[in-house]
Amino acid sequence: MKRQTGPNRNQSPAEEPFSYRASPGGRRVLCCGSFPLSELAKKFGTPLYVYSAAALRERSWVLDSAFAGVPHTLCYSVKANPNLSILRLIYGLKCGFDIVSGGELERVLRVSRRAAARVVFSGVGKTAAEMDAALRAGILMFNVESESELALLAERAARLKRRARVALRVNPHVAANTHPYISTGLRRHKFGVPMTEARRLYRWAAAQPFLLPAGVSVHIGSQITEVAPFSAALRRVIALVRELREEGLRLTYVDCGGGLGINYGGQRLPPFPRYAERYAQGLVRALGPTPVHLLLEPGRVLLGPAGALLTRVLYRKTNGPKRFVVTDAAMNDLLRPSLYGAHHRIVPVEGGGRSLETVDVVGPICETGDFFARDRRLPQVKEGELLAIMDAGAYGMSLASNYNSRLRAAEVMVDGARAKLIRRRETMRDLLRQEI
């Protein structure tokens, strides 16, 4: 599929990744770039994830530019969306990667073996095999989350005779105003080590021949739209860095984690350049005069608004006062509303004047929790029409499953004049292949 090439980096700020445009028949149709989503649905079917490469590049450049005044590396959070085509695009932007499993490491290495030098390995449950793979690949740093993990890493590094750069992920006990499932910075959470334990563990690590304490890591949660919690956490981390440097540790990196949120609907956030600048200023002020190399782990904030899930209305039904719109997408395709009660904007692909109604938008899965919206005021749609579930680029396909033996969706990347299939739709043969 071909279209006129879209804006490049040297032009004005990128247009919205999804916008309504007039079609030849006079209708207004939601498009990704210049591609009508109805055309993509016709060619690739539904449910279908559609991503804008231009939006992903633009948001990466904006965030990178906001931190231009300090040494830094953007390490894309692979768990947000691990598609290989997306990782290749990210690698081409000179970004690094934040991984949390051996599988994610393998995906990054499939993009380029050289990418390992920009990989930080986070997560509370790294196995010996995963450590060995990361040591052999030569990753930038391990973000260690417990004393036991540190001891195992020392053992694996010694066995392989590969020196491992380490940062302890410290728990700063900073509350983040977000969903409890994605808040990670309090003492009751499983993540990180207490600040009071960090000094002792750094001293122990410094005495190990194959461990090199290289930084400090912190991550307080996800979908945080206020700067103050990030600043508060970083101030505590910088105080620790100064103390450790006074003891002779040559710490180079501070990994600030990710977690910067997006506007799913209802939040009043400024335009992204101003939002990114405000975030950067908050961290730089907390950093003060301490010279370090910042590592940042954006995921959702880069890719979330760049993606949408297309779904077709199967049925309309009424149960007493309740109205339901039943779609061919389900919670196995986009879990966030069921898991977090998350809000995603839902819009008809074909625009125009429509009356509003209050409906539940639900999927076909045999669970009451299979929904995308409840009691939502939406434009009235008919059976057979297309809906777009917006801001679904991150934690959409990456959380997808085969529940109810449903086949996972296809994924398409719109990049200038091309709409490229980057993951084919699963088949029943794919689903049954591993079973005996």
Q: DSSP letters of 217-253?
A: E---BSSB--SHHHHHHHHHHHHHHHHHHHTT----E
CB 312 within 8 A of CB 384: yes
Q: Which two tokens stand for residue 332?
A: 């196995």
Using 50 as the pLDDT threshold, list the residues of the chain that sit under it: 1-14, 178-188
Q: What is the DSSP letter of 305?
A: G
Please state the separation of Cα 417 from the chain's center in Å. 25
Nearest CA among 410, 404, 435 for reference residue 422? 410
pLDDT at 181: 37
pLDDT at 192: 76
Could you tell me which residues come within 8 angstroms of residue 321 by beta carbon, excluding any fewer than 6 positions away? Answer: none
CA distance 251 to 396: 36
Hey, where are the domains in the chain?
Answer: 18-52+305-432, 67-298
Respond yes or no: is residue 31 known to be catalytic: no
CATH code for the part of the protein at 67-298: 3.20.20.10
pLDDT at 11: 35
Backbone φ and ψ of 128, nearest 5°: -60, -40
Q: Give the burial class of 268: count Cβ atoms within 10 A of its Cβ; 0-12 exposed, 13-18 middle, 19 or more buried.
A: exposed
CA distance 233 to 108: 29
Superfamily of domain 18-52+305-432: Lyase, Ornithine Decarboxylase; Chain A, domain 1 (2.40.37.10)
CB 284 within 8 A of CB 242: no
Could you tell me which residues come within 8 angstroms of residue 44 by beta carbon, excluding any fewer than 6 positions away? Answer: 410, 412, 421, 425
CA distance 343 to 265: 7
Cα-based distances in Å from 87 to 90, 91, 129, 179: 5, 6, 23, 27
Which residue out of 31, 75, 256, 366 is catalytically annotated?
366
Kindly state the helix (H) or strand (E) to which residue 160 belongs, with its residue range: helix 147-160
CB 231 within 8 A of CB 286: yes
3-state secondary structure of 407: coil
Burial 69-98 (b: 16+ CB within 10 A, else e): eeebbbbbbbbbbbbebbbebbbeeebbbb
Q: Read off the pTM.
A: 0.92
Q: Sign of torsion, CA 410 38 330 394? A: positive
**pLDDT tens digits, one per residue of 120-139:** 999 999 999 999 999 999 99
CA distance 290 to 242: 8
